[in-house]
Chain A
Amino acid sequence: MDILQQFLTPFINAELLLLVAVGTLAGIFVGAIPGLSVTMAVALLLSLTYSWDMLPALALMLGIYYGGVFGGSRAAILVNMPGSPSSVATSFDGFPLSQQGEARMALTLTTIFSFIGGLVGVAVLATAAPLVSTIAIQFGQRDYFLLAMLGLLLIGSLSQGSMAKGVFAAGAGIILGLVGMDSIGGGSRFTFGSLQLMNGIDFVVAILGLFGMSEILYQLKTLNEKGQTVTLKKMVFPPLRFLFKFLPLSMRVSIMGVLIGALPGAGGEIAALLAYDHAKRTTKNPNRPFGKGAYEGVIAPEAGNNSAIGGALIPLLTLGIPGDAVTAIFIGALFIHGLQPGPMLMEQSGDLFWVMVGSSVLANIFLLIFGLLVVGIFIRVVTIPKQILLPIIAVITVIGAYALNNSMTDVYWMLGFGIVGFFMKVHNFSVAPLVLGLILGPLIDTSFRRAYMAAQEPSTFLLGFVNSPISILLTLAFIFTIFSQTKMYSRMKEKMKK
């Protein structure tokens, strides 16, 4: 009874209700603007809400969190500029959809399935938090390594045309991701003695350049062609059968999303990438090929990254361990408001847990409502003539790159990535593997080395892969995924059919 009451608190309390609503709406716009991140917004709220009570402060922050992760995909779909790493995967099929006049469809579908993903995340948080956190804790460095390698296998499906070029681009991405101070050895790598480079290359800067700036340059070509603006296909609401058709897929990737989100060392970006990979491997007859505007290609990553939020809250509330940068700030907020986030949190203030669960459900409901309502506003972006739209996006890209770290160096990097991305596009080199490498490279590097250092010897290190159940499972998944890309597998499959 108590639990139900706590759960319903944010629904009944007008103040909390309003704060979650304001937070979600603001989050959608913050996430949609490249260069403004949810992390920045939540950090600002930390000092703003210092004198508030704890629950209202958390309600507002939670709203921003859900809205922001969702909002990131708006720009990814409309202008091919993912607002955050977790919406990179959405742009693979989202932007092609919008170029073919189906922006409204893409925006609506992602909203509905973000909502579903978000709810799955909260449901797992509410029912299985202790179990999931036990699994997450057992996830060793070797397992992170395997998980990242699994993600890296996406190169195979992302590199259009030549596989070798895809591998090369991913390798270049990994190297770029390693630039800066080596968090393990302490030395610096590929910095050429520059302190600016010690900081590493922010992957949002790379995304702004490779996707945003290069797209601007690429679009200039079609500037003066007739029909310069995309004609929007008329579509009020996706047919109901879509909901049922994509429900099983969205459920599967949502469960994946929660589990990955719950890992303290991996978050929404990896959840979204693996969800995309999963969708691509399991969908037999997509409406269009993946990469050219498959509905599954936008649904899966969006369901995945939103369910990862529920996952990220699990280690936060059960162990006091942040699952990502945003939940790290939540920890700060709990401290400031007099709580001790840690394994005792649930026992000491159990009401907090259920109020958070309630607020999360509420945030998802608002996300669905606002998400659908603002489709009409966002959609206008596509109809703005390019002569006006491109310069505006150029300014946002430049300012966004600067705003990340208040650094002009980042702006120059962004321009560099822009020109590289442009030429890659012209020569039919997909930029996706490059971004994949940038995101996964540092994780692969650190997890591999930590696992190796802990094992101390090559034999112990190799044995580790078959020593724990999680490692065995991931190793098998890795081997199977590679095997399934070989010709032998497809031949075997054909034989089986016969």
Chain B
Amino acid sequence: MSMKKRVKLIGSALFLTPMLLLAACGGGNDTGASNEDAENYPERDISGVIQWGEGGATDNISRTLAPLAEEELGGTLVMENREGASGATGAQYVYDQPADGYTLLFGAENPNLYQVLGISERDYLTDFEPVSIIGQSYAGIVVKEDSPFESLEDLIDYSTENPGDITMGTSGEGGLPHVASAMLQAELGTEFNQVPYDGDGPLATALLGDEIDATVLAVSAAQEYVESGDFRMLAVINDEPLDSAPDVPAITEAYPEFEKYLPWGPFQGVFAHKDTPDAIIDKLSDSFEKAQENEEFQETLENLGVNPLNINGEEAIEYLEQNRSTSTWMLYDAGATETSPEEFDIPRVDEE
């Protein structure tokens, strides 16, 4: 991009765009609720609520996807972060807005667990309609390079023999390491001393600083430290090794009983209120589907270690159901929650 062009861009970025926006929202005050004709949708700005804070994976993906979706939709997406309470604040906010497709939730996997963990009453399947599931990441079990545990079996054996001796860093209730620990506990009877941290970054720091013995990180986040020789990844939680980490064994190699839980991992998606008119959902789904086909966006996902899914409609609902059943029952079986998923009519994975 030439210098002149860039100057122009900054200029427009800082001053012109707002003016255009001002013109665009001129007629935006007629809040005609849900009866709006889908043909004319969107007639005003759509608000995109990101349920995690600035700089997180959900934020990065949402903010890169938004401008692409805008082109397809022919409208403006105004993105805002409403983080807090494991994302429950953002989910609740979107649920409280009129079901007219003008408020979208850009969320991660967390709402699947809200009910069972007692965080919130909201739930993807009962309260929201998936517009698009963007992609899924994978989780890996990591230890520090100088750790005595050479393989997953070492770690499991030690922790079953010495319950509570291994300190496992987690990212709080319902987070990746918490659910993965529950998975190990439910199937193999391991017991870890769980210490919660604020996310992937602090977990990596804690592992580097020898505060914790092991943790579960998104493979993309951990891979860098594995390459630099700081961490060792013992297994990926998947039924086959990943392209991005071909040397790391899949968890099913040593413990085939995990097969029934897979595929499982964190995901990101776009959601609308359950009562949004179907025509608007369809239009949104189409737009987001096309937007995700953008090559640059696919590269961004790859950089973030996200496996693109780009699914919507029935397929997306099935995906959500499977993920929710796996996570909730795992937590319940491991005793991490006393609320049975049955109370919310969540079927067991095996029964599907």
| A interface, CB within 8 angstroms of B | 14-15, 18-19, 22, 26, 39-40, 42-43, 46-48, 50-53, 56, 60, 137-141, 180-181, 183-186, 188, 195, 198-200, 264-265, 315, 319-322, 325, 328-332, 335-336, 338-345, 405-406, 450, 453-454, 456
Cβ-based interface call for B154 (8 A):
no
Query: Which of B1, B120, B194 is close to A195, meaning CB atoms less than 8 Å apart?
Result: B120
Q: Mark B60-85, 1 if CB is under 8 A from A, else 0.
A: 10011011000000000001111011
Q: Chain B residues with Cβ under 8 A from A138's Cβ?
A: 209
A39-B54, A198-B89 known; A14 vs B64 contact (CB < 8 Å): no
Contact call B195/A454, Cβ cutoff below 8 A? yes
**Binding site of A, secondary structure by majority: helix, strand, loop or mixed?**
helix
Contact call B230/A343, Cβ cutoff below 8 A? yes
Q: CB within 8 Å of A: which of B1-50? A: 1, 3, 6-7, 9-10, 13-14
A322 to B199 alpha-carbon distance, docked (Å): 11
Cβ-based interface call for B257 (8 A):
no
Cβ-based interface call for B143 (8 A):
no
A198-B84, A336-B60 known; A450 vs B227 contact (CB < 8 Å): no
Q: Chain B residues with Cβ under 8 A from A42's Cβ?
A: 54
Cβ-based interface call for B211 (8 A):
yes
Q: Mark B187-214, 1 if CB is under 8 A from A, else 0.
A: 0000001111110011011001101100
Q: Chain A residues with Cβ under 8 A from B120's Cβ?
A: 195
A180-B84, A335-B303, A340-B303 known; A52 vs B1 contact (CB < 8 Å): yes
A15 to B167 alpha-carbon distance, docked (Å): 50
| B interface, CB within 8 angstroms of A | 1, 3, 6-7, 9-10, 13-14, 53-56, 59-60, 63-64, 66-67, 79-82, 84-86, 88-89, 92, 117, 119-120, 164, 167, 172-174, 193-198, 201-202, 204-205, 208-209, 211-212, 223-225, 227-228, 230, 296, 299-300, 303-304
A48 to B43 alpha-carbon distance, docked (Å): 23
Q: Chain B residues with Cβ under 8 A from A265's Cβ?
A: 202
A335 to B60 alpha-carbon distance, docked (Å): 9
Query: Which of A15, A139, A198, A406 is close to B88, meaning CB atoms less than 8 Å apart?
Result: A198
A344 to B1 alpha-carbon distance, docked (Å): 29
7 A-B pairs with least C-beta separation: A342-B224, A328-B55, A186-B173, A199-B84, A343-B228, A198-B85, A43-B54
Since A22-B10, A137-B209 are in contact, a sample of 14 more A-B pairs with Cβ atoms closer than 8 Å, ordered by chain A residue number, is A15-B6, A42-B54, A43-B54, A43-B63, A137-B205, A140-B209, A140-B211, A195-B85, A319-B204, A328-B53, A332-B56, A335-B304, A338-B303, A453-B193
A335-B303, A454-B167 known; A184 vs B63 contact (CB < 8 Å): no
- The residue on B at minimum CB distance from A60 is B10
Distance of A59 from chain B, by nearest CB (Å): 11
Contact call A26/B14, Cβ cutoff below 8 A? yes
Query: Which of A185, A322, A344 is close to B201, meaning CB atoms less than 8 Å apart?
Result: A322
Can you list 27 A-B contacts with CB-CB less than 8 angstroms, sorted by A residue number?
A19-B6, A40-B54, A43-B81, A47-B63, A50-B67, A52-B1, A137-B209, A138-B209, A181-B84, A183-B172, A185-B196, A186-B119, A195-B89, A264-B201, A264-B205, A315-B205, A320-B204, A321-B204, A325-B54, A328-B201, A329-B55, A332-B59, A336-B60, A336-B300, A340-B223, A340-B303, A343-B230
Q: Chain A residues with Cβ under 8 A from B117's Cβ?
A: 186
Q: Chain B residues with Cβ under 8 A from A184's Cβ?
A: 172, 196
Q: Chain A residues with Cβ under 8 A from B204's Cβ?
A: 319-321
